[in-house]
């Protein structure tokens, strides 16, 4: 039996208070703890209602085997990107009490039209055709748990799949539709500290496959992926270690660049 509406609301309040207060907990207390992905998503949905505006879009966590092993889950997880935590390239992003302390380079898609839930799965070609633009992006994730590697998928989903801050670059040239995104190289840099290379294939084999996964995950939950929403598809390189004051740059070559600075 799943959690009651009151339990979902209480679990959401607990996570929201820790998120906005920069605090962490070991786990959601047993009476409020989601035990299934469905309950996890139900808690996450109530977090959305606490946002000051309609959501900015969606994120996918654990889109690589290494990422899944890192947080001890067996597949990807969807989360909501909150509008008040989304920035444009060049912005100064608060660092605060960030626990995960990493930045990720991601292919992000802005949807051009709605994808409403349907009985069968969307194909990757259908979902990509519904996307209006492709953007280079940075995700700066975080967790409200002291040890996010042991709490399991349901609690991670409830915690918005480790969503925190997000930076969106300018739209890439429309020629992106003709490129093999799985083979597209990306370089990430924390200025003066570390550089790493990645490739689109690190994201479920292809960022377009990850986009289709997200659309189908939402469809299974009865949620419409709406025009204007952004979907960021998971890190395509080993996350970059970050600290207050750092300048983070992600170079997607012909697809553009995105950057941010980390404030206090």
pLDDT string in tens for the chain (264-residue length): 789 999 999 999 999 999 999 999 999 999 999 999 999 999 999 988 888 889 999 999 999 777 787 788 989 999 999 999 999 999 999 999 999 999 999 999 999 999 999 999 999 999 999 999 999 999 999 999 999 999 999 999 999 999 999 999 999 999 999 999 999 999 999 999 999 999 999 999 999 999 999 999 999 999 999 999 999 999 999 999 999 999 999 999 999 999 999 999
Q: Which neighbouring-strand residues pair with 61?
A: 77
Burial of 125 (0-12, 13-18, 19+ CB in 10 A): exposed
- Which of 162, 215, 127, 125 lies closest to 40 in space, CA to CA? 162
CA 246 vs CA 2, 25, 101: distances in Å: 43, 27, 11
Whether 44 contacts 15, CB under 8 Å: no
pLDDT at residue number 69: 79
Considering just the CA atoms, what is the radius of gyration of the chain in Å? Answer: 17
d(CA 210, CA 68): 14
d(CA 238, CA 206): 16
pLDDT at residue number 237: 95
> What number of helices (H) and strands (E) belong to the chain?
6, 13
pLDDT at residue number 223: 97
pLDDT at residue number 53: 85
Domain residue limits, the chain:
55-263
| Other beta carbons within 10 Å of 168 | 23
d(CA 244, CA 212): 35
May I ask the CATH class of domain 55-263? Answer: alpha beta
Can you tell me whether residue 157 is helix, strand or coil?
A: helix
């Amino acid at each position: 039996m799943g959690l009651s509406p009151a339990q979902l609301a209480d679990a959401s309040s607990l996570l929201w208070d820790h998120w906005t207060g920069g605090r962490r907990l070991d786990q959601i207390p047993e009476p409020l703890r989601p035990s299934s992905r469905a309950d996890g998503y139900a808690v996450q949905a109530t977090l959305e209602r606490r946002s000051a505006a309609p959501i900015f879009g969606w994120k996918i966590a654990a889109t690589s085997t290494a990422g899944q092993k890192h947080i001890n889950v067996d597949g990807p997880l969807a989360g909501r990107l909150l509008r008040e935590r989304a920035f444009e390239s060049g912005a100064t992003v608060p660092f605060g009490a960030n626990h995960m302390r990493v930045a990720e380079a991601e292919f992000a898609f802005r949807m051009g039209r709605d994808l409403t839930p349907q009985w069968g799965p969307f194909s990757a070609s259908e979902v990509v055709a519904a996307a209006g633009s492709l953007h280079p992006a940075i995700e700066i994730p975080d967790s409200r748990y002291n040890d996010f590697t042991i709490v399991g998928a349901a609690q991670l989903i409830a915690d918005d799949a480790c969503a925190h801050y997000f930076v969106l670059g300018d739209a890439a040239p429309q020629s992106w539709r003709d490129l093999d995104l799985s083979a597209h190289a990306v370089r990430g840099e924390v200025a003066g500290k570390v550089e790493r290379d990645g490739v689109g294939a690190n994201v479920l084999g292809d960022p377009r496959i990850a986009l289709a996964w997200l659309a189908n995950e939402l469809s299974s939950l009865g949620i419409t992926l709406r025009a204007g929403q952004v979907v960021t598809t998971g890190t395509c390189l080993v996350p970059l270690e970050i600290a207050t004051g750092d300048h983070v740059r992600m170079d997607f070559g012909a697809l553009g660049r995105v950057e941010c600075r980390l404030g206090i």
